[in-house]
């Protein structure tokens, strides 16, 4: 799960990484009152889950509250790399003497957190890695040993920070970033830029923060930060029902058990000349409850013209799934044609159950390709 800048900064602040004082606004008037509270010049920052906001015009300095109001008006509604700006973060403008870069990410290759530090901050780190590879200091932390202060010193000296006052502050921030990373089960924490003010104060001016989805259950406070408005309404409804669903652009609704099977179903639909309307994984179950929930989510998309139900029975038995489908169709009204392909454990029984009940809009096909062709044909 990706966090907005303001959310990442809130966690930074909680764990003692210095940031600027600020507030969130969703309207120009709110922005003005936040700026009034902060006093002095402020910076208005688009809150979107993508980088490069500065270049795209999503970050603007404002001299006073009225200016903050005007700048917010310009930024709200802006499209930044396909993300529409719905909120802005207003914070006290910083004077910048230097821009550094500090990140801690999970390096899957060596299964260890990786620190990266450079005094060439402010620009994209990929660019630094390409043009000034020597300026980028990389250092892995052994998760069993944990972070050791010598590692922080190595980053700072390796990066060429000479001012003792800066060294001291950055060293503290490095340690706190490790603590933040571990205690939140983060996959990525990035501060770009980490600034030094003309007075020599070091502060996080930006935050990029990704938390491991699989660990969110341990962090209800972070899970709660998920912005449901940034998600398409269908996906929001799916999440509320516990259905794994991703909206796509086509006309054939897809329902399968197991992410791998659903992925290949998308391919087979394309092969048959159609376009999938969604990805939807029923998971291990095939009970009526799960089928109803999934069908409700899929049919809420007005573009869906037919539905392909692709099931491979392993632990889940096809006869159970067949009964689940029939119960679901009893409980809800579905006008769409539904094509079913059952294979694996008890497939024969499953098909027989469907054949006997034979609801009007249900088509049973023997193979995945046949089923895909039929579903595409019915969607035309
Ligand atoms: P990004 O473009 O999405 O990475 O957004 P950042 O938060 O990193 O901001 C981009 C750039 O805007 C920074 O590198 C700074 O140069 C500038 N910027 C952001 N906040 C301030 C501020 O408070 N004062 C000044 N002078 N510049 C700022
Ligand atoms: Mn940045």
pLDDT per position as a tens digit, 158-209:
999 999 999 999 999 999 999 999 999 999 999 999 999 999 999 999 999 9
Question: For 69-85, what is the mean pLDDT?
Answer: 94
Q: Which of 210, 205, 154, 197 is nearest to 17 (CA)?
A: 205
Q: Is 140 helix (H, G, I), strand (E, B) or coil?
A: strand
Is it the case that residue 281 has pLDDT exceeding 70?
A: yes
- Give residue 102's pLDDT: 97
Q: With bands split at pLDDT 50, 70 and 90, how would you rate the model's confidence at 371?
A: very high
Q: Is the CB of 94 under 6 A from ligand 1?
A: yes
Q: Which ligand is nearest to the CA of 98?
A: 1
The DSSP bridge partners found for residue 153 are: none
The CA 55 to ligand 1 mean position distance, Å, reads 10
Atom of ligand 1 nearest to the CA of 95: 26
- Give residue 93's pLDDT: 98
Q: Is the CB of 40 under 6 A from ligand 1?
A: no
Any idea which residues carry the catalytic annotation? 101, 190
To which H or E segment does residue 66 belong?
helix 65-75
**Which of the residue ranges 139-148, 282-291, 333-342 would you say has the lowest mean pLDDT?**
282-291
- Give residue 284's pLDDT: 65
- Give residue 285's pLDDT: 63
Backbone angles phi, psi at 173, to 5 degrees: -65, -40
Q: CA-to-CA distance for 104 and 175, rounded, in angstroms?
A: 11
Atom of ligand 1 nearest to the CA of 43: 23
Protein residue closest via CA to atom 7 of ligand 1: 206
- Give residue 95's pLDDT: 97
Average pLDDT of the chain is 93
Q: With bands split at pLDDT 50, 70 and 90, how would you rate the model's confidence at 315?
A: confident
**Which of the residue ranges 43-47, 123-127, 326-330 would you say has the lowest mean pLDDT?**
123-127
Strands (E), 314-376: 338-344, 362-365
């Amino acid at each position: 799960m990706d966090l907005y800048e303001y959310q990442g900064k809130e966690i930074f602040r909680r764990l003692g990484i210095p940031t600027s004082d600020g507030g969130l606004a969703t309207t120009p008037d709110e922005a003005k009152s936040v700026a009034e509270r902060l006093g002095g010049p402020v910076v208005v920052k688009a809150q979107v889950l993508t980088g490069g906001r500065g270049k795209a015009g999503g970050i603007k300095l404002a001299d006073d509250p009225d200016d903050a109001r005007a700048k917010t008006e310009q930024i709200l509604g802006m499209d930044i790399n396909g993300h529409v700006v719905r909120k802005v973060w207003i914070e006290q403008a910083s004077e910048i003497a230097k821009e550094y870069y500090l990140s801690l990410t999970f390096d899957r290759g060596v299964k260890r957190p990786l620190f990266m530090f450079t005094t060439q901050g402010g620009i994209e780190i990929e660019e630094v890695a390409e043009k000034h590879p020597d300026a980028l200091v990389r250092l892995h932390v052994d998760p069993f040993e944990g972070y050791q202060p010598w590692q922080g010193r190595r980053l700072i000296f390796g990066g060429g920070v000479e001012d003792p006052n800066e060294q001291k502050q950055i060293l503290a921030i490095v340690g706190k970033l490790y603590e933040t990373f571990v205690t939140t089960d983060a996959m990525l924490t990035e501060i770009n830029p980490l600034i030094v003010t003309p007075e020599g104060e070091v502060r996080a001016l930006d935050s990029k923060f990704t938390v491991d989805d699989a660990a969110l259950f341990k962090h209800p406070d972070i899970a709660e930060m998920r912005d449901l408005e940034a998600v398409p309404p269908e996906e929001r409804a799916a999440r509320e029902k516990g259905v794994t669903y991703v909206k796509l652009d086509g006309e054939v609704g897809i329902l399968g058990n197991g992410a791998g099977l659903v992925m290949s179903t998308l391919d087979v639909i394309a092969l048959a000349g159609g376009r999938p309307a969604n990805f939807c994984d029923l998971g291990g179950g095939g009970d009526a409850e799960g089928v109803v929930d999934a069908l409700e989510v899929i049919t809420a998309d007005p573009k869906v013209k037919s539905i392909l139900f692709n099931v491979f029975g392993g632990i889940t038995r096809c006869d159970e799934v067949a009964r689940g489908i029939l119960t679901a169709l009893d409980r809800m009204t579905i006008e769409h044609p539904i094509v079913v392909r059952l294979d694996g454990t008890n497939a024969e029984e499953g098909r027989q159950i469907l054949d006997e009940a034979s609801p009007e809009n249900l088509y049973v096909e023997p193979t995945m390709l046949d089923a895909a062709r039929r579903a595409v044909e019915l969607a035309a």
